[in-house]
Structure 1
Amino acid sequence: MVLFTRQELLTHYETMVKIRKFDLEAKRAREANEILGNVHVYVGEEAIAAGVCANLERKDCIESTHRGHGHTIAKGADINAMMAELYGKATGCCHGKGGSQHIADFSVGMLGANGIVGGGYGPAVGAALAARILKTGAISVVFFGDGAANRGTFHEAANIAAAYRLPVIFVCENNTWACATPSEVGHTQSVTEISRRAIGYDMASCVVNGNDFFAVYEGMKKLAERARGGEGNRCGILECQTWRPLGHVIGDTQPYRDAREAWARMCADDCIENYERRCIAEGWLEKKDFEEIQDRVEKMIRDAKQFAVDSPYPDASELTTDLYD
């Protein structure tokens, strides 16, 4: 078991709570039509983003999915700028031009969420190749779901990453649902564990409980150390087995499954409550520590929303700026 300082434990908890409360506010705002466009919330999977990114340095890069708010927050992006981006404001981290599905913050190594399923693999491998050429010592991470694992882009990226021995870690958030399609053997894939595909590319792999921050952290730590080591095949697959408690996107009524059962299943194995119980049981933290963080984050989210509401929209003259000719 990796030992953390008290401050590290508080920081990791705050990251998860910040992700949860940010996305619950994003859900509320989308349902109230205060923001436009599709919004895919990360509720229930916070331990994955937090556990993975806790092993990363600022110079390291991540590529995300359409469900990217959690990854962005965990990598260190400013939540005021993120909220403003969802509201399409000029103060947003993409100046109001990316929105939820294409949120990015290059300043912290977050290369972007992606509206294309499986669209992050190529850029992540490219970032790893650039790190090698520039000798920065950085590693690259790409998050993807079990559904995206069945895209051809996964195999293309995995093949080139392995062939070139690039420092890329493929993080599969296996929540058993690809939109409305269950990830069942014989239905959409031949094996239950996506990480078994690592064998074909001579990659390292690790399967962890995605609802346990400490399990995610330790699994990622092993792969990150290998990726930074410079010996042999440096890429690997981290499979985090979890559960998506809400619909695929805000507005998804989930006719393909029992929505109440899905939420009850998450509540019975909530990653944030699991973290609290572990820290209290081990005597690392007390209940009041969590309550103080919850209150502080609540204020952060209120302030972020107000910042977004008060911010101006981009000027029409900026429509074609930030584009390549």
Structure 2
Amino acid sequence: MISIDVGTKKVCVVEGSVHSGNVTLTGWGEIAYDSDVFEEGVLIDPTTLSFLISEIIKRNRMKSKNAVITVTNNNVIMRELILPEMKPKEMQTIVANEMQRLIGSDNKLTVDYIVVEKMSDKTNKVMAYAMNSDNVEIYQKLLKGLKLTPTALDIHSNAIAKLFGKTTINNMPHGEDSIVVADIGYAQISFHGFLNGIKHFDRTEISPVSDFLNEIASITRMEISQEMINSLDFTMDHIYENSMMADTCRFFISRLSDEIQRYLQYMISNSTIKSIRKIYLMGSLVETTGLVNTIAGSLGIEVELLSSIGKLQLPADCPAYKVANAAGALIRY
């Protein structure tokens, strides 16, 4: 199956299979957008997106015809519901009606749900998801235009929950720990909090990455490119010849650390835990020189670049921190 992770500034495509909850990737690729494909979280240029996906599939000789798309959480409205036990069809109807009532929108919604936990009092803790049906139709048409069969539309938080739950991360188990996976994107940061190997907390905040890169581009008078990003150095003792560069990098680290710290406090205040053992970083800039260690020093907590997941087997030269969202979406249950 093919899984397509549609981001704000780039698209990542993987091909792989799933057996007993374990994912094996056989191919992957990503391409950054040269123009604005999204505007305020809405896909405005499906033609360009379709072309880029097609290019990745061709370059990497992907043969699968079934496909799933995974999108960021800000495309979806999520609510936790407590409902009595009932048949799946009945629950689907009740969840759809309840989401329509809670959201209060006249727009047609596509609604789905997963049962998070079966309670001892014969009720179910349900996570319900709703997306504007027009947006769902856009993605369906996108896949059909690529001659792919739409299998599912997933979201990052669900993909991460499936892939990271009750497994090892960077070769270490986290079944009895509290950890955070922070997906640092261009436009937003998605935080996923795990307790005892199960994801319990999701939160999305505005990312400082966009403002930071625009400021760097203004200082250096260079266009934002991967080459420019690779030239950055966040090491504490690194000395930039341009003092404005140094100040901008320090301010970015401060903003990013503050966002992470706020989430840690949110997670602690909404649970019985007293501390977070470790943070794993994925997404934009995380491989930039010095970023991980400098964030760790700023927060006073262990921080690691996401490099491996127990449920995920990767091909050569495929970084886990780039493909985790797409890989998790391959798991269908």
| TM-score, normalization by structure 2 | 0.26
Instruction: Select the structure of larger CA radius of gyration.
Output: 2
Structure showing the higher helix proportion among its residues = 1
| TM-score, normalization by structure 1 | 0.26
Structure showing the higher strand proportion among its residues = 2
